[in-house]
Structure 1
Amino acid sequence: MTYWGLDDRAHTGEMVVNAAVAEEVASVFRKLYDQRYPIRRMELVDAYKGSDYDSIDAGNTSAFNCRSATGSGNWSEHAYGRAIDLNPLENPFVYADGSHAHSNADEYVDRPKKPGVIHADDKVVRAFEEIGWGWGGYWSSYKDYQHFSKSGH
């Protein structure tokens, strides 16, 4: 897909999703492109040898990754290609105590108004809600600001 980078230039990225959601996901990213929403990078998790940590640390927007859910032994929605992590540096996973795993995301924990940062009811959240997807920023016990999924989990 073509996306606008944080450098305000068009880039071409790759993303693998479940075939059942591919069309609706493409419609969201088409809308974000039209709105010039900035994305740091978009590569397959294969570029990071399947490491979710390394992909997030690089600020990589991705979807399919055969892994368990954070803090769980159950499969993640990413393992089914029905979840997307968008700008994970700008939108970190924050535990209930306020801690997070990526020191290069420190400045984004308090949700500043900066390019690529997702906020409640902004155009990114609304675009995913229009296709029936939920946002991890609305979760109560912890916040996964980067996470959007078909199931809402």
Structure 2
Amino acid sequence: MPLPIQADTVEPGDTIIIDSGITFEEAIVGTEAPKSILDELILLDVLYKSVDNKLHQGQILTNEKIGDDIRNMFGFMLENDFIIEKAIPIVHYDWNDSLSMDDNNTYSFCYRNVSYSKHARGMAIDINPRFNPVRWKRAGRPNQPEGAVADTTVNGTLYPGHIVVKEFNKLGFRWGHTFSKYHDDHHFEKR
């Protein structure tokens, strides 16, 4: 899908670093997802400011039902200088979400043969997992990805009251920080 260029975020002549520029067919190679789920997916080109403070283009493979919301959120994050390290379809990580999270990759669709996973239908998105790790409420369990630490002084880190969290909430997304057993601060899902 072509990128809607917003005059207030992208200037003519801006250099855009391409992190991902694959086709839909390339983005779904090797998935075990059934055709009924694949038929609901779209591949979005998205713009963001990365950790190098430069403009990047990545891609989000997501459910068409939340495609407009995801596109709008990337525009909102760019307009508010919120850092996204990278956004690359998880096929790049051989469908391994642990590798993707460890690389601080923002993604939506990752088919898992687990009925409760919103990622299995592309109805969730993980934002900067290394900056926003899963933190268990019960002591003794390591953060996921392992070794990741939430540091709210780092741009790209989410916390209660953050404008990105508020904007996702306005769009009807549930934030993983509110889960009962752990704080999944990188996770937003829509029912």
Structure 1-normalised TM-score?
Answer: 0.88
**Aligned: 1:58 with 2:103:** yes
Aligned residue in 1 for 2:51: 6
Name the SS of the counterpart of 1:17 in structure 2: strand
**1:134 corresponds to 2:174:** yes
Alignment of 1:1-153 (within 5 A): 1-68=46-113, 73-98=114-139, 99-105=142-148, 107-108=149-150, 111-151=151-191
For the 8 Å contact 1:120–1:138, the answer to whether it is kept is no
Measured in 1, the distance between the counterparts of 2:181 and 2:144 equals 16
CA displacement at 1:112 relative to structure 2: 3.3
Larger strand share, 1 or 2:
2
Structure with the bigger percentage of helix: 1
TM-superposed CA distance for 1:97, in Å, is: 2.3
Q: What SS does structure 1 have at the residue aligned with 2:160?
A: coil
Q: Aligned partner of 2:127: which letter?
A: L
Q: CA deviation at 1:7?
A: 1.4
User: Are 2:118 and 2:189, in contact at CA under 8 Å, matched by a contact in 1?
Assistant: yes
Amino acid at match of 2:167: A
Unaligned runs of 5+ in 2: 1-45
1:28 CA drift (Å) = 1.2
Deviation at 1:142, TM superposition (A): 0.8
Give the superposition deviation at 1:21.
1.2
Aligned length: 144
* Corresponding residue SS for 2:62: coil
Question: How far does the alpha carbon of each residue in 1:44-103 deviate from its partner, in whole angstroms, 9 at most, with x for none?
Answer: 0000000010000100000000015xxxx4341001111000000000112222422333
For structure 1, the 5+ residue unaligned runs are none
Whole-angstrom CA distance in 1 between matches of 2:144 and 2:129: 11
Give the conservation status (yes or no) of the 8 Å contact 1:57–1:104.
no
Q: CA RMSD in A?
A: 1.4
Whose radius of gyration is greater, 1 or 2?
2
Aligned counterparts of 1:41 and 1:21: Cα–Cα separation in 2: 20
RCO greater where, 1 or 2, for CA within 8 Å and sep 6 or more? Answer: 1
